[in-house]
Structure 1
Amino acid sequence: MPSSAPPVSVRRRGTAAPGRPRVLLLHGLASGGNVWDAYLERTDSTDDTNSTDGADSAEQESWIAELPWRGTESTGWTDRSPAHWARRALELVPGGADVVIAHSFGANALLSLLADGSGPPPGVRMPSAVVLVSPFYRARAEEFGWDSIAYYLNDFDRILADGLRVRSGGRLSDELRHDMALKVRDRIGPYGWMSFFDTYLHTPRLRCDRLTVPVLIVGGERDFAAFPGDSRALGAALPSATVRILPGAGHFAMDERAAEFAALTRDFISTAVGPLPAPDGDRTDPHRPTKREHHR
């Protein structure tokens, strides 16, 4: 049954010392805020000796959004654009977000909000940096054909099943995972699917040149939903983007490669917003963002 909770809500996870970057996390379609758990476990504490309260605190102030397209989705959310709901999440973060990290459909909702050509929404402080995980993007309308519709319609349950595989840690049988994916697909319904695909179809018309803040794009080498080529094409379209494709990762790189993802985002935020201390055990992590990949 649909959730009786508000269409959009945000909650703060843990505590952070004053001055830490305020980070908002947006989940994808039929997902939820818990999709960030593995990542947040690696940002929850630091031994920073400069902490004002003298105690361990999180390296960032994390705000987790629950969006209307979550697993227990709110009714009628497709009556408004995905960008509308991304804007609502930004409005709910006290003082605004310094950084927004968004996954999949959530990444496209954010991208639509920030790069639709209309400029910053009134009353909403725009983030200083953005991380897009497994975004959907194509540079030209001609890149969409009937095969694109067939793939994302007929294989939609397969994409959902892969999300269940990751979130369950592989504990579900193939048969059970398939049955659950069909139920999730039916709950999303044709209107939810149309909202997703219409948002995807709109990407060639986005004014990506208007999104001038630093952007980190993280894709998965094995992602068969938002293909690595989408991440590379979006990186080429943005004025200030770094693209990292994580080997062996699928559509949920922040879960499948949580330590590497945390290291990438930590260094990116440190450069784009301000310095962040690394937790013990991560200080010598070799995975750091490099200059933008070459796009061909």
Structure 2
Amino acid sequence: MRALALHGLAATGAGWRPYEEHAGPGVEVWTAELPWGQTGGSGWSLPGGDPAGWIGAALDEVPGRVDVLIAHSYSALLALEHLATAPRHTRPGGLVVVSPFHRRDPGDFHWDTAQHYLGIFQDVFDEALRLASTRVLDAGLRRDMALLVRDRVGPYGWLRFYDSYLRSPFLDTAALDLPVLVVAGRDDRFAPPEDAEALAGALPRARLSLLDACGHFPMAERPREFADAVHAFVNESVVGAEVR
């Protein structure tokens, strides 16, 4: 089984290593360093261009057929947008969306929704640093580092994220008729599990996996449970793919 795993905002492909360690010998995991990642600049977020187009470009870079596309957080928003309009012959056999942001109704967004996400924007980077660090970082130092990441992403990066989130009620879910697994942590403070439930309920061929005692990064916080959920999904739903 060949999987392509895409990181979220200000992250890297290295964030998938805990999953790779539990994926097993039957899984070939590819990752991509996307423009909105740690190694990219700020140019991707400026007006003009289509970030969702990078999802298709990443798929095209993998030799052979991608059996399963796995996309986290911001990349999950973009993957859904891309695949809803992509020609069927270019789609992967299945899709795993991890910690997705999704609202069913435009009326679900209010002024305080934007204020909330502005207020906690740096917190997701703080959590990512805590999980990725090989040693315990002082909370104040980690907070300062998270603020630096936030400032590097910048206002335009935040606007790109929030604009994609605002578009989620208009996603053509009926067009996404491939097998989809939606994975989320029950304790996610950033992409609420209710978003995952709403998305899974709207897609024609989706299943939902909510992980207990887990936040925004299931592949790092619960890698064994995450891998098991992906493997069961592939073996039961993705034609022509199998995880041993």
> Could you say which TM-score interval applies, normalised by the shorter chain?
over 0.9
Aligned position for 2:66 = 97
User: Does the C-alpha gap of structure 1 residues 85 and 135 become closer, same or farther in structure 2, counting only changes over 3 Å?
Assistant: same
Higher relative contact order (CA 8 A, sep 6+): 2
Q: Aligned partner of 1:25: which letter? A: A
Aligned position for 1:132 = 97
User: Does the C-alpha gap of structure 1 residues 170 and 208 become closer, same or farther in structure 2, counting only changes over 3 Å?
Assistant: farther
CA distance in 2, matches of 1:129, 1:162: 29
CA distance in 1, matches of 2:13, 2:160: 20
Gaps of 5+ in 1: 1-20, 46-57, 278-296
Alignment of 1:41 onto 2:21? yes
Aligned position for 1:73 = 40
Hey, which of these two has a bigger chunk of helix by percent? 2
Q: Deviations over 1:93-126 (max 9, x none)?
A: 11231110110011111011112xxx3249x610
Aligned position for 1:226 = 191
Tell me if structure 2 keeps the 8 A contact 1:220–1:249: yes
Aligned with 1:250 (options 215, 222, 228): 215
CA distance in 2, matches of 1:30, 1:110: 17
For 1:142-291, list aligned pairs within 5 A.
Answer: 142-168=107-133, 171-273=136-238, 274-277=241-244
Q: Aligned partner of 2:86: which letter? A: P
Q: Deviations over 1:69-109 (max 9, x none)?
A: 11122341124222111111011111231110110011111
Alignment length, in residue pairs? 240
Tell me if structure 1 keeps the 8 A contact 2:42–2:153: no
Q: Aligned partner of 2:32: which letter? A: A
Gaps of 5+ in 2: none
1:202 match: secondary structure: helix
- Decide which structure has the larger Cα Rg and report it: 1
User: What fraction of aligned residue pairs are identical, expressed as a percent?
Assistant: 44
For 1:10-89, list aligned pairs within 5 A.
Answer: 21-43=1-23, 45=24, 58-78=25-45, 79-89=48-58
CA distance in 2, matches of 1:246, 1:270: 20
Tell me if structure 2 keeps the 8 A contact 1:134–1:231: yes
CA distance in 2, matches of 1:95, 1:252: 28
Post-superposition shift, 1:169? 5.6
2:40 match: secondary structure: coil
Q: Deviations over 1:9-52 (max 9, x none)?
A: xxxxxxxxxxxx22110000000000100000112x4xxxxxxx
User: Does the C-alpha gap of structure 1 residues 141 and 267 become closer, same or farther in structure 2, counting only changes over 3 Å?
Assistant: same
CA distance in 2, matches of 1:113, 1:255: 25
1:137 match: secondary structure: coil
2:52 match: secondary structure: helix
1:155 match: secondary structure: helix
Runs of 4+ in 1 over 6 A off after TM superposition: none
2:162 match: secondary structure: helix
CA distance in 2, matches of 1:33, 1:212: 27
TM-score when normalising by structure 2: 0.94
TM-score when normalising by structure 1: 0.78
CA distance in 1, matches of 2:164, 2:154: 16
User: Does the C-alpha gap of structure 1 residues 73 and 168 become closer, same or farther in structure 2, counting only changes over 3 Å?
Assistant: same
Q: Deviations over 1:213-272 (max 9, x none)?
A: 111101001101100000000001100111111010000011100011111111111122
Post-superposition shift, 1:129? 0.5
Tell me if structure 2 keeps the 8 A contact 1:138–1:230: yes
CA distance in 2, matches of 1:93, 1:75: 25
CA distance in 1, matches of 2:93, 2:170: 23
CA distance in 2, matches of 1:41, 1:159: 24
Q: Aligned partner of 2:14: which letter? A: N
